[in-house]
């Protein structure tokens, strides 16, 4: 591992704001006001009467009351403390105790893009500089998906590291998987900008692995393609080919994974996941089974990474230094990329004139 | 709001010691030893055999055991760890393991003044420089009162700000009050030393407001007089006149409020309240009703301000600055006065020679 | 107390590593992996197939997963995250995802000595410089013992101070003991290196004291010998002689106490105790009675010292200075000795070249 000498992101690395993050699942947001936390900011999210999702700074700029504890008035929100009213763009349109409202009085409004099953939010200082990350199997009629969300007491960086290195499957998931082959497969890594990609090709018996649950044992080839797409999201696909059928008519099945990691703070993360399959599209029982299976599997990641974070939190040893192994190469590259993004953000923030998110007590 | 430019007290402002605070309700203190916290000091409070209330530094000067876990011996307290015994003035009168007791060995005794329903304590470095704040309707046979206490996870400054600005009534108390008029009334502010006074005159229907509960609707004039009397206490009165009766024989009813805020630490407060009425003096059912009504109403303040404090605690944004509106003028003035008192205390503390509250390990 | 002027250890004094500590009771450790905390280090402890106890750094040097959540493989431990396998000496013997293992890859192994009922651990930087503290009544066929363990939210220094000064018995243990005599006895102190010894001789009625429970009242002489043997352990004996029988045939009974205090961190401690008696050796009912009695008595220490630590934690008064009395002399000497040991450790650490406990992320 001597070739990797650049500094890797860790718990001291600042959170990254110039990114699209998943703020919520589409199904989590209704016309009711609800609070979500993204990057240490409290947001109030709701749908306007036309169904469009809105995210505002939840903290009333007047006396810091959470707008999520206020009430709706059409598409506006009335603060539950003194009744200051903000429209869906964040403008203060009414102060009940006075006639006029200063133009500068507003709560911040955040750019939102909804691409089912996710509601993406842009937390950057300026307008979005790109579109949210997309995967071809999302919103695609050839796929059926199931999704879920976990609140995880660990850093988003550890979650990225976990999904970039499948050698943990036979151990952390020893209760669910029986795939010792995976820890023996040599992954091929490639990079593209900040993206880090890994490709693995394995032959195994189809009973070993969740995508083949319930089938009779037969030889399959599994191709896994993993991608650290941004600090907010990891995409992956698994393509399973049945080696017991002749190549010409060989059936393949593809599964697409989205692992979206939204930092709540440096050591806690909302983990949104979505698994899409290109078979049994209208089979509700298959969806129920997949939801249960993947919830169980990803819960093992959540439990394991929580233990790691707890060890860092409790055993405060300044002399501890991680040792890395060959399989960590993609993860270390990802951590270098996050570290570099953090430095670039810090530099551009210094270069910019200071901006106030809310006004001052006069 | 351009005229207000002085620095306002906030969570960084030190607590004020040179004041009388309510340590407890009279009914909370008996001959049993109990612990109360005032300004980050632990106190043991109890009544002597003659009924006079006593407050001592709860922390045994020997090995920091809480005297409140000891036992009474006449009017003295025996420490529950090694038996050091302190009289009601704080002097150590016995060390069981030795013959003599050094004169300097004592636990601090605090000046106490009981004015039912409150037990006031002086936490200042020297003797009291004034009498505890008083209100004419307390201990007055023309009034009947009810009182209570809340433990509130928020700064006492936010509690003062809340009671100085009634424009929150139609919103924070939307479940209890139906008084939109109050947020439209222009308050008149005056000041007197550190005191900040506000006067509001409103006409409304008598069913809107707790002081008129159960009566048939009729027009009333409500005069509210609010007073930030000291960092420890806010006094208020509400005078309701029935406008449907001729001026000469017009019935008026007056309610006196005491809101005493005792900081436990910078972000938690014991909130003692007392509401006195000049009617239905011997009506126990009226007292029960008032106790229930005001407990419900003040609970809304407690819940709302806890949300505000939690937002400050969790969303650690250095870029956040409060915006104030016209109705905040009295509150901002109060905050300036607290800030000025804090500076004056810091200066006089620096000027004084250092004083030890307890001796040193030799 | 004018003669004691050296600095005494308190909550700011660093923990001491160059000592033997009790890591666990023998009965707490089996072939299953379990986690214990000693001096802010997480350890995995287990017995090899031959029954010998092992303690390894619990934190996997790769990605900080607790090895205690892994599985056994013979005498080795397989990490539950990526399967790195460590033998009972801490050497990494297998990385499933690669062929070779770097020699430097290991988890720290700690010297262990088991002397029933205790498993001792050496946490020092180098090999042990001495044998674990021993008491003649342990592993001695002339004695029968009972033991137990408490998790105490207080500093180990306060626990040592408590057992070196028996004047607390009539007060902290007023529910269990009726021995006012003890607080009147003048103790004789002597020192030997870092050890601090105290001898007390008291005459009392035998019903007053747990070692005489159930007997008819008669005059006894009680000789107590206390010894701060090391920062990890306090030894004590109580010898009771029946004064109502003639000197030549006088029955004496001796009880040996071990109080082992193992810091988890500066303000929490695992408190292991063992009480050995030289009578009723094969009497299981006597053992049950002793276990219940001493658990009840030591629980009073645990509750009392937790209150003291909580007072220090919550009442953050920089002006507070402890006052000491004559009975504190042994305790203050003990605290000076701990302070001196801490200084010596800091100096020798500075003198040594820096050592890495685990490797670096390359």
pLDDT of residue A111: 98
B275 vs A360, more confident: B275
What Cα–Cα distance (Å) separates residue C144 from each residue in B23, C238, C256? 54, 15, 10
Chain A closest-CA separation from residue B13 CA (Å): 16
- Which chain A residues contact residue C360 at CB under 8 A? 321-323
pLDDT of residue B243: 87
User: Could you tell me which residues are beta bridge partners of residue B196?
Assistant: B191, B228
B320 with A59: Cβ contact below 8 A: yes
Q: Residue for token digits 């440096």?
A: A266
Indicate the average pLDDT of chain A: 91
Q: At CA B208, angle to CA B202 and CA B209, rounded to 5?
A: 85
Instruction: Give B100-142 as a DSSP string.
Output: ---TT-B--EE-EEEETTEEEEE-SSSS-SSPPP--TTTT-TT
Residues above pLDDT 90, as percent of chain B: 79
Sheet containing A34-38: order of strands = A34-38, A41-47, A53-57
Mutate to test the interface with A, among C97, C107, C125 (most CBs of A within 10 A): C97
pLDDT of residue C127: 96
Mean pLDDT of B133-156: 97
Peptide bond into B117 cis (omega under 30): yes
Provide the number of CB pairs (under 8 Å) joining chain A to chain C: 106
pLDDT of residue A204: 83
Buried b (16+ CB within 10 A) or exposed e, B346-362: eeeeeeeeeeeebbebb
Radius of gyration of chain B (CA): 23
Q: pLDDT tens digits, residue range A205-248?
A: 766 445 445 556 788 899 999 999 999 999 999 999 988 888 88
pTM, 2 dp: 0.92
Residues of chain A numbered 155-184 and touching chain C (CB < 8 Å):
161, 165, 167-168, 170-172, 174, 180, 183-184
The reply to whether B62 touches chain C by the CB within 8 Å rule is yes
CB-nearest partner of A172 from C66, C80, C102: C80
Question: Tens of pLDDT along chain A (362 residues)?
Answer: 433 467 999 988 999 999 999 999 999 999 999 999 999 999 999 999 999 999 999 999 999 999 999 999 999 999 999 999 999 999 999 999 999 998 889 999 999 999 999 999 999 999 999 999 999 999 999 999 999 999 999 999 999 999 999 999 999 999 887 666 766 777 899 999 999 999 999 888 766 445 445 556 788 899 999 999 999 999 999 999 988 888 887 889 999 999 999 999 999 999 999 999 999 999 999 999 999 999 999 999 999 999 999 999 999 888 898 999 999 999 999 999 999 999 999 999 888 855 544 444 43
pLDDT of residue B356: 47
Report the interhelical angle of C156-163 vs C329-351 (nearest 10°). 140
Instruction: Supply the ipTM of this predicted assembly.
Output: 0.92
pLDDT of residue C246: 83
The reply to whether C106 touches chain A by the CB within 8 Å rule is no
The reply to whether C304 touches chain B by the CB within 8 Å rule is yes
Assigned token pair, B151: 């433990």
The answer to whether the CB of A36 falls within 8 A of the CB of A43 is yes
Highest mean pLDDT among A225-234, C8-17, C214-223: A225-234
State the first-to-last Cα distance of chain B, in angstroms, to the nearest integer: 57
Chain C closest-CA separation from residue B96 CA (Å): 6
Alpha helices in chain B (DSSP H): 156-164, 169-172, 284-314, 329-351
- Which chain A residues contact residue B312 at CB under 8 A? 64
C172 with B81: Cβ contact below 8 A: yes
Q: pLDDT tens digits, residue range B319-351?
A: 899 999 999 999 999 999 999 999 999 999 888
Alpha helices in B125-191 (DSSP H): 156-164, 169-172
State the first-to-last Cα distance of chain A, in angstroms, to the nearest integer: 56
pLDDT of residue A316: 83
pLDDT of residue C1: 42
Mean pLDDT of B64-84: 98
B82 with C327: Cβ contact below 8 A: yes
pLDDT of residue B212: 47
pLDDT of residue A245: 83
pLDDT category of residue B183 using cuts at 50, 70 and 90: low
- Which chain A residues contact residue B180 at CB under 8 A? 96
Assigned token pair, A60: 């009333």
The answer to whether the CB of C164 falls within 8 A of the CB of C198 is yes
CA distance A75 to A82: 18
Mean pLDDT of B228-248: 92
Q: Which residue of C has its CA nearest to A175?
A: C80
- Which chain B residues contact residue C332 at CB under 8 A? 361
Q: Is the pLDDT of residue B6 over 90?
A: no
The answer to whether the CB of A21 falls within 8 A of the CB of A39 is yes
User: Could you tell me which residues are beta bridge partners of residue B192?
Assistant: B195
The reply to whether C357 touches chain A by the CB within 8 Å rule is yes
Q: Which of A331-340, A341-350, B4-13, C195-204 has the lowest mean pLDDT?
A: B4-13
Q: Which residue of A has its CA nearest to C81?
A: A172
Which candidate, C316, A57, C192, C332, places its Cα nearest to that of B42?
Answer: C316
Domains delineated in chain B: 20-122 (2.102.10.10), 144-343 (3.90.380.10)
C347 vs A357, more confident: C347
Which candidate, C301, C277, C24, C293, places its Cα nearest to that of C159?
Answer: C301
The reply to whether A134 touches chain C by the CB within 8 Å rule is no
Assigned token pair, C106: 């290991």
Mutate to test the interface with A, among B315, B326, B333 (most CBs of A within 10 A): B315
The answer to whether the CB of B224 falls within 8 A of the CB of B167 is no
CA distance C64 to A57: 36
pLDDT of residue A218: 80
> Which distant-in-sequence residues (6+ apart) come within 8 Å of C215 by Cβ?
C206, C207
Chain A closest-CA separation from residue C53 CA (Å): 23
What Cα–Cα distance (Å) separates residue B242 from each residue in A336, B218, B250, C123? 75, 7, 6, 81
- Which chain A residues contact residue C82 at CB under 8 A? 165, 167-168, 171-172, 183, 325, 327
Query: How many CB atoms within 10 Å of residue A131?
Result: 10
> Which distant-in-sequence residues (6+ apart) come within 8 Å of B104 by Cβ?
B359
pLDDT of residue B5: 60
B65 with C308: Cβ contact below 8 A: yes
pLDDT of residue B250: 82
CA distance A184 to B333: 71
Instruction: Give A233-302 as a DSSP string.
Output: EEEEEEEEEETTS-GGG--EEEEEEEEEEEEEETTEEEEEEEEEESSSTT-HHHHHHHHHHHHHHHHHHH
CB-nearest partner of A1 from C71, C78, C362: C362
The reply to whether A6 touches chain C by the CB within 8 Å rule is no
Q: Is the pLDDT of residue B289 over 90?
A: yes
Q: pLDDT tens digits, residue range C77-110?
A: 999 999 999 999 999 999 999 999 988 899 999 9
3-state secondary structure of C91: strand
CB-nearest partner of B319 from A357, A361, A362: A357
The reply to whether C301 touches chain B by the CB within 8 Å rule is no
A324 with C98: Cβ contact below 8 A: no
E-state strands within A109-194 = 112-115, 118-122, 144-152, 188-192
Residues of chain A numbered 213-242 and touching chain C (CB < 8 Å):
none
Q: Is the pLDDT of residue C172 over 70?
A: yes
pLDDT category of residue C259 using cuts at 50, 70 and 90: very high
The DSSP H or E segment spanning A21 is strand A20-25
CA distance A109 to A43: 9
Assigned token pair, C144: 């029968």
Q: Is the pLDDT of residue B145 over 80?
A: yes
CA distance A2 to A4: 6
The reply to whether B316 touches chain C by the CB within 8 Å rule is no
The answer to whether the CB of A361 falls within 8 A of the CB of B6 is no
CB-nearest partner of A82 from B171, B307, B311: B171
- DSSP code for A91: B
- DSSP code for C186: P
pLDDT category of residue C114 using cuts at 50, 70 and 90: very high
C319 vs C239, more confident: C239
- Which chain B residues contact residue A64 at CB under 8 A? 308, 311-312, 320, 322
A40 with B316: Cβ contact below 8 A: yes
Indicate the average pLDDT of chain B: 91
Q: Residue for token digits 């309707």?
A: B137
The reply to whether B95 touches chain C by the CB within 8 Å rule is yes
Q: Which residue of B has its CA nearest to C302?
A: B81
């Amino acid at each position: 591992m001597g070739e990797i000498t650049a500094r890797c992101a860790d718990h001291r690395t600042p959170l990254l704001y110039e990114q699209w993050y998943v703020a919520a699942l589409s199904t989590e947001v209704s016309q009711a006001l609800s609070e979500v936390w993204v990057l240490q900011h409290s947001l109030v999210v709701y749908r306007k009467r036309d169904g469009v999702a809105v995210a505002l700074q939840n903290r009333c700029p007047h006396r810091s009351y959470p707008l999520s504890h206020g009430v709706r008035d059409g598409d506006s929100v009335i603060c539950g403390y003194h009744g200051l009213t903000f429209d869906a763009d964040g403008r203060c349109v009414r102060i009940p105790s006075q006639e006029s409202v200063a133009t500068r009085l507003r709560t911040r409004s955040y750019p939102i893009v909804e691409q089912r099953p996710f509601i993406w939010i842009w937390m950057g200082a300026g307008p979005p500089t790109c579109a949210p990350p997309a995967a071809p199997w999302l919103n695609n009629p050839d796929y059926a998906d199931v999704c879920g969300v976990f609140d995880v007491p660990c850093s988003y960086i550890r979650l990225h590291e976990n999904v970039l290195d499948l050698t943990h499957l036979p151990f952390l998931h020893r209760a669910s998987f029986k795939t010792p082959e995976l820890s023996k497969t040599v992954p091929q890594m490639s990079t593209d900008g900040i993206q880090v990609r890994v490709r693995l090709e394995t032959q195994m018996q189809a009973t070993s692995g969740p995508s083949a649950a319930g089938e009779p044992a037969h030889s399959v080839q599994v191709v896994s393609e993993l991608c650290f797409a941004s600090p907010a999201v990891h995409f992956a696909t698994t393509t399973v080919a049945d080696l017991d059928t002749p190549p010409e008519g060989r059936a393949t099945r593809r599964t697409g994974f989205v692992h979206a990691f939204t930092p709540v703070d440096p050591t806690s993360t909302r983990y949104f996941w979505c698994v899409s399959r290109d078979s049994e599209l209208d089979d509700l029982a298959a969806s129920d089974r997949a939801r249960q299976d993947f919830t169980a599997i990803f819960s093992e990641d959540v439990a394991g990474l929580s233990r790691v974070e707890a060890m860092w939190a409790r055993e405060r040893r300044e002399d501890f230094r991680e040792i890395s192994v060959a399989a960590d190469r993609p993860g270390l590259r990802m951590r270098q990329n996050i570290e570099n993004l953090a430095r670039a953000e810090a530099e551009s923030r210094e270069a910019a004139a200071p901006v106030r998110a809310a006004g001052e007590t006069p």
